[in-house]
Structure 1
């Protein structure tokens, strides 16, 4: 079964993550996601994209920790470039609004996936976090966009403590557009998508393209990827990732 489902309904492309237990992002999964975004971009029937999860209480745990801890260097670099550089490019050139429906936990690379969208709608029990530093990695991809959203000092605190925070705090910080009941997240996302879909598509594309140019942060992404790659080869990262796997597997 595919780890990501794709369907188009009423001019809305729904991209549904379905890779138990936590939608960890492997290279094939990211490539599938990019393929769906490309299909939505080139389909004139699609006017809005919604990214959601079929896994209860999980949006995405981020990049597959097994690849990061034991993968070959070229595989790790390919995954990072796909997830960070190519995902950013795909969203930048999408030409139509995108909405993340976050009905569970979003962490690390899962935060990147959520924040790459134009709008975030979260359930009341959704949680967010940047735990990379706890396993010896540098969350450099977030160093560019997060201070612009929440301010330098609050961004530093979130990134360097690695703590999880609630949907209510994410809303207060400006990371989330709105918070709704957990069982209403997808409904709220689709409701907003229908409003966007009713707008003139040519005007929406031109307006969104202008918005993306005005808020472009892509120039920092390549630097962030190299920072991540250099950190993953350190003893701290190897020990941190191994410790995480032991805790996860109950060893």
Structure 2
């Protein structure tokens, strides 16, 4: 079993360097025949992943943003889907926006009882575009609209009730619970786990990958709007945005 920990203090913001390290570690674990399950957690106390490193996008053009968003929405999903072994996210503390996008590429999600979830993109001039494809299929159209458009924070208990996570565990045991779950999977036939995961991914895709490509284009377009620039500037200076587009 392999353990991969996100480590970009203070909040595990998603940068090119973090994505490089994460994808390299996943590829290495996927290619190692001695490893039969992967646990993805955080080395930063109180944070799983707070989402995109927003300040770097403040002056980005849609074309520049496209490559980074495609990597998060499409390439990470493709890599996770192609791994011949299961991956388990051990979520502790805060997970927001792009952090949710990282988590949902895993096969199972174990959440600490103090974890908090949310889709705050609209508050900073963005859209939670990938989750328009992902979330309604799990929680239903109306609850998904609530979460995605209000941006409200919700806890691990609600995430479990909604079907967004596989299991919950005490905060100090979430990695241990993910490891115990991994050990159960490690005890299965490696060949059948590989075949089963590939079949499960095909059966449950339901157009997710096609939706992800559309979400990349949508979010890249958003980066070219005045309200996106205003939202990111407001976030950087810790003030309320003044929306400009009608």
Q: TM-score, normalised by structure 1?
A: 0.92
Superposed counterparts of 1:60-75, under 5 Å = 60-71=49-60, 73-75=62-64
State yes or no: 1:37 paired with 2:50.
Answer: no
- The DSSP-based 3-state class of the residue aligned with 1:70 is coil
Measured after TM superposition, the shift of residue 169 of structure 1 is 0.6
Q: Structure 1 segments of 4 or more deviating over 4 A?
A: none
Task: Provide the rounded CA distance (Å) in 1 between the counterparts of 2:138 and 2:115.
Answer: 19
Which structure 2 residues correspond to residues 1-251 of structure 1 after superposition, within 5 A?
12-71=1-60, 73-216=62-205, 217-247=208-238
Count of aligned positions: 237
Q: Which runs of 5+ in 1 are unaligned?
A: 1-11
Which deviates more, 135-144 or 165-174?
Answer: 135-144
Q: Which shows bigger deviation, 53-62 or 77-86?
A: 77-86
Deviations 1:171-205 (A, max 9, x none): 01000111111000000000100111111100000
Q: Distance in 2 between matches of 1:188 and 1:98?
A: 13
Identify unmatched segments of 5+ residues in structure 2. 240-246
SS in 2 for 1:47: coil
Is the strand fraction higher in 1 or 2?
1
SS of 2:84 mapped into structure 1: coil
Q: What TM-score comes out, normalization by structure 2 length?
A: 0.93
Write the distance in 1 (CA, Å) between the matches of 2:119 and 2:220: 17
Shift of 1:72: 5.1
